[in-house]
Amino acid sequence: MGWDDRMAVEKDHLEVDGGAERCRPIELITENGFSIVRADELDGVRLSPDRIFVFVVCDPHGYELEIRVEIALAAISEIAFRSRCLISTESSYWVACAERHLADYLWEHDDYPADGTLRVDLLTPRDLNLAHRWGTT
Q: pLDDT by residue for the chain (137 residues), tens digit each? A: 554 444 444 444 445 444 445 566 788 899 999 999 998 776 654 545 578 999 999 999 999 999 999 999 999 888 888 777 778 777 888 889 999 999 999 999 999 999 999 999 999 999 988 888 886 54
What is the distance of C-alpha 17 from the center of its chain? Answer: 27
Work out the number of other CB atoms within 10 angstroms of the CB of residue 135. 17
Work out the number of other CB atoms within 10 angstroms of the CB of residue 54. 18
Q: Are 107 and 30 in contact (CB under 8 A)?
A: yes
Q: Are 86 and 129 in contact (CB under 8 A)?
A: no
Task: Tell me the whole-structure pTM to 2 decimals.
Answer: 0.76
**Sheet of strand 117-120, all strands in order from the earlier edge strand to the far edge:** 27-29, 35-38, 52-58, 64-71, 117-120
